[in-house]
Amino acid sequence: MAHAVGPVAPQHSIHTLDEGPSTTMNASTGVPTTAATVESEEPLSPGYDTATKGDAEFNKDFRHCFTTIDDVQMHYVIGGDGPQVMVLLHGWPHSWYVYREIMHSLLPGRTVIAIDLPGMGDSTGNLRSMARTVLADYVHRLLDHLGYRENVHVVAHDFGVGVAYPLAAKYREQVAGLFLMDYMLVGKNAKGADLTPLSFHFSFNQQNPLAEDLVTGRVETFLNHLFQSMKSGVGEPVSDSEFAEYVRVYSRPQVLHAGFELYRVWAQDEAENAALQETPLTIPVRLLTQAGLAQFMLPSLQDCAPHATASDVPGAGHFLVHEAPARVLAEINAFYPTS
């Protein structure tokens, strides 16, 4: 199990647009201040709060924030003031919103930060590459800017796992543990080609620019087909509110392109992860998968962290946070105890 995190005092103000009673920490004094007194950064994505405007529960405890790192304005949602810092990383075709259902339950004892990966969700900017090492560098620099430089607990799903690994491997003092969901890490042994037979979209998304040409203006149709093709038989893989939010963000041309680019850099990820695997992780690492895939995915993770463990969720499909929220919460809290 990962150790509980001690108090972390942010070194910089958090840019936020929230004018409610939520609190953060003053950059220089460490004294709680209202979000209204914190410097704001004008968002480049005007619809960032579409899904949360009328969400009283969300707005009571969380706020939307924007911070520019180099050429990318990064969007993230932050809440809580507990000493354990937890970062949530999403996959494709998701955004930070994939964690909405469980975020409040994670708050006791924690500061929770759900990040829109660079180029995705309501983050804005054109990256030189969607390679996972590049995305990890942006996440690292955002957390560093906010003052979270050590003992960060990471939760990641799908491509978020691909970002979480180089984040932990490159910035070892920053990350204290990895709780990962349903993703096979390519590297020395696992290859992107091993994943191609799993779903039509692994091949389709790599077609450049055909994927963009065919899906632009048809994002709702495309995502509906994708989610329905991945149903597990135990319920819908996405709620109506989630689906509407993903249609909104992937209708942004840069986000649609960035999402497809995730599938076009397997070769770079394989080479870079293989190099990182030369120095294995020693932090606690746990993998939770859909039904029947734990032993298929675990070897690729043990190439990175030899002592990693894994289990699956009977009856569940790929979209674990939506399909099995109680199990996901129980696993996270057992792996990252707050007391």
The residue type found at 240 is D
The span from the CA of 273 to the CA of 259, in Å, is 20
The predicted structure's pLDDT at residue 39: 54
Q: Where are the alpha helices (DSSP H) in 27-158?
A: 56-61, 100-106, 132-146
**Euclidean distance between CA atoms 338 and 335, whole angstroms:** 10
Q: Where are the beta strands (DSSP E) in 2-100?
A: 23-25, 32-34, 62-69, 72-79, 84-89
pTM of the model: 0.90
Tell me the C-alpha distance between 137 and 118, whole Å: 10
> Which residue, 20, 265, 37, is CA-closest to 131?
265
What does CATH list as the number for 56-191+267-335?
Answer: 3.40.50.1820
The rounded distance, in Å, linking the Cα atoms of 119 and 64 is: 17
Name the residue ranges covered by the structural domains of the chain.
56-191+267-335
Chunked mean pLDDT (size 10), the chain, 339 residues: 32 36 38 37 96 96 95 96 97 98 97 97 95 98 95 98 98 98 95 86 96 98 96 85 98 98 96 98 98 95 98 95 96 95
Token digits for 312?
A: 């699956």
Helix (H, G, I), strand (E, B) or coil at 154: strand
